[in-house]
């Protein structure tokens, strides 16, 4: 044995092994992952995409594709800022748990104990606990209009929004049903503000972003570096990819949606969580807190405190995805191997699931497979309707389904999304035609009839709206949305 001793050689071998693994992953990102994602970006004409993989305590892989704005020359890189949408909710969860650690919040106390002006039309609101809101089992409804086209920027916006909920009804008794609710997270963000005495955005900046060195990240769009901020893209009224007419920002919805971040900063957030609250000497949460944060309880096994718990290839994942007008994002942690993957795009129709799976396979040491790309049937039907009329679009759908069933993506969600796009443009005849096609293709789908009912309702045809909501409810007696709309229609 040399004078260095056995322990010294073990340390050197450990350092060498770490470097080899990190270098190997970095190399595979360039030679295996990047070509797969580049082919996808090129084929689907995705405006911009940024991805990252964290492993061995560092950002090992960071890749950018496309540009900050369609047709522009500012290339996407690890510093490009994206609207992170619902990934923001994990920061609400972190803030809540910090206040729990300080003894300022009890997860099982009623929300009204902390936000005195929170009230709903439904008296059961008094029993809603902080934990129930954070786990999406409060019975709260969801936001119907984010008013991206009418953004507000002042400090009082969030409290005003919470006060405006006094006419809302619960969709279920608190604690009895899982129903994702952005509205509930606006209330939780306001709770953080009320308890801390700071604005929600200010609290997150001072107690999470700054300690973790997330220097470019912010919840206030006016503080985001305009030279790094990406532009949102959507399918426009001609069913072509274009710049969104609205930017998804409204300070009323900061807790559910408005984090602006990039690959570099989100990798630091991922590392802190993988380390159970610590990064570079700064601690944002106690180690034991993650037993609560990431552990589902009771009958609702998929969600802890905001974070969703699942599996990928039999390995536990802790994750949260996001999607708003013009943007998609995803953050997935692999706690057992202290790895994470991050993806963000400035186009809201990217196949984020396929992108995430390619990243996860790479992080787990596997070669990512080429992503099967099928043209969405919604594009063909939508473009035909815009150009040649509704009947031509209907015929196009029938012809392609008969002659090329494997060449197009005929999944239920494709026409459903197209229907909502037409509704957004107030093209209700087209929306009804598309969603009727979808209901005929998926006659056992409660959601297909629910969406068709909404299209008729927006078009002012309450009779047809009621008929389709009734069919939806018959297929799924637990569809509280259909039940709620039917109750309102009968009142009318």
pLDDT for residue 14: 40
Report how far residue 102's alpha carbon sits from residue 455's, in angstroms, rounded to the nearest whole number: 48
Which DSSP state fits 33?
I
Tens digit of pLDDT for each residue in 450-487?
999 999 999 999 999 999 999 999 999 988 889 888 98
Q: Does residue 412 carry a pLDDT above 80? A: yes
Phi, psi (deg, nearest 5) at residue 333? -100, 140
**Averaged pLDDT, 413-418:** 93
37, HSE (Cβ side, Cα atoms, 13 Å) = 32
DSSP labels for 182-225? HHHHHHHHHHHHHHHTS-HHHHHIIIIITTTT-TT-BS-GGGS-
Q: Does residue 18 carry a pLDDT above 50? A: no
Number of Cβ atoms within 10 Å of the Cβ of 116? 8
**Averaged pLDDT, 285-312:** 94
Q: Does residue 122 carry a pLDDT above 50? A: yes
pLDDT for residue 460: 95
**Averaged pLDDT, 110-118:** 98
Q: Does residue 19 carry a pLDDT above 80? A: no
pLDDT for residue 11: 43
Tens digit of pLDDT for each residue in 59-68?
999 999 999 9
Q: Which two tokens stand for residue 143?
A: 């936001």
Report how far residue 267's alpha carbon sits from residue 279's, in angstroms, rounded to the nearest whole number: 11
Tens digit of pLDDT for each residue in 292-303?
999 998 888 899
pLDDT for residue 6: 52
Predicted confidence band of residue 163 (pLDDT cuts 50, 70, 90): very high
In the chain, what percentage of residues exceed pLDDT 70?
Answer: 95
Residue-averaged pLDDT of the chain? 93
Tens digit of pLDDT for each residue in 204-251?
999 999 999 999 999 999 999 999 999 999 998 888 999 999 999 999
Residues 6+ positions from 405 with CB-CB distance below 8 Å? none
Residues 6+ positions from 233 with CB-CB distance below 8 Å? 47, 48, 70, 241, 242, 243, 244, 326, 346, 347, 348
Q: Does residue 364 carry a pLDDT above 70? A: yes
pTM for this predicted structure: 0.88
Phi, psi (deg, nearest 5) at residue 383? -65, -40
| Residue 95 near residue 145 (C-beta atoms within 8 A) | no
pLDDT for residue 487: 86
Which residue ranges form the domains of the chain, and what is each CATH number? 85-363 (3.40.710.10), 375-491 (1.25.40.10)
Q: Does residue 7 carry a pLDDT above 60? A: no
């Amino acid at each position: 044995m040399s004078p260095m001793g056995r322990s010294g050689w073990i340390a050197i071998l450990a350092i060498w092994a770490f470097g080899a693994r990190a270098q190997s992953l970095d190399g595979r990102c360039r030679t295996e992952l990047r070509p797969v994602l580049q082919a996808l970006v090129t084929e689907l004409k995705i405006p911009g995409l940024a991805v990252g993989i964290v492993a061995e305590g560092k950002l090992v892989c960071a890749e950018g594709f496309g540009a900050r704005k369609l047709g522009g020359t500012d290339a996407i890189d690890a510093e490009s800022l994206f609207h992170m949408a619902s990934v923001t909710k994990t920061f609400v969860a972190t803030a809540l748990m910090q206040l729990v650690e300080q003894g300022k919040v009890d997860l099982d106390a009623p929300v009204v104990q902390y936000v005195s002006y929170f009230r709903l039309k439904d008296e059961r609101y008094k029993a809603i606990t902080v934990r129930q809101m954070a786990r999406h089992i409060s019975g709260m409804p969801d936001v119907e209009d984010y008013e991206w086209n009418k953004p507000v920027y002042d400090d009082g916006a969030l409290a005003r929004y919470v006060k405006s909920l006094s006419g809302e009804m619960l969709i279920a008794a608190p604690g009895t049903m899982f129903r994702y609710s952005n509205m509930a997270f606006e209330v939780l963000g306001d709770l953080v503000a009320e308890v801390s005495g700071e604005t929600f955005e200010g609290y997150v900046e001072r107690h999470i972003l700054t300690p973790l060195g997330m220097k470019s990240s912010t919840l206030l769009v006016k503080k985001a570096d305009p030279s790094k901020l990406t532009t949102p893209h959507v399918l426009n009224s001609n069913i072509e990819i274009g710049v969104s007419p609205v930017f998804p920002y409204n300070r009323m919805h900061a807790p559910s949606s408005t984090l602006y971040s990039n690959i570099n900063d989100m990798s630091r957030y991922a590392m802190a969580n993988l380390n159970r609250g610590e990064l570079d000497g700064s601690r944002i949460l106690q180690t034991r807190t993650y037993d609560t944060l990431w552990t589902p309880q009771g009958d609702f096994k998929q969600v802890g405190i905001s974070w969703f718990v699942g599996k990928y290839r039999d390995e536990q994942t802790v994750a949260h995805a996001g999607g708003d007008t013009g943007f998609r994002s995803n953050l997935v942690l692999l706690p057992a191997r202290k790895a994470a993957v991050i993806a963000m795009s400035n186009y809201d129709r990217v196949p984020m699931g396929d992108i995430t799976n390619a990243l996860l396979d790479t992080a787990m040491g596997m070669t990512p497979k080429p992503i099967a790309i099928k043209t969405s049937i919604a594009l063909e039907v939508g473009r035909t309707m815009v150009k040649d009329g509704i009947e031509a679009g209907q015929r196009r759908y029938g012809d392609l389904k008969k002659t090329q069933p494997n060449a197009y993506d005929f999944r239920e969600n494709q026409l459903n999304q197209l229907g909502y796009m037409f509704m957004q443009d107030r093209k209700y005849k087209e929306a009804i035609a598309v969603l009727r096609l979808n209901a005929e293709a998926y006659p056992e789908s409660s959601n297909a009839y629910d969406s068709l009912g909404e299209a008729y309702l927006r078009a002012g045809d309450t009779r047809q709206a009621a008929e389709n909501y009734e069919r939806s409810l018959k297929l799924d007696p637990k569809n509280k949305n259909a039940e709620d709309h039917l109750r309102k229609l009968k009142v009318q």
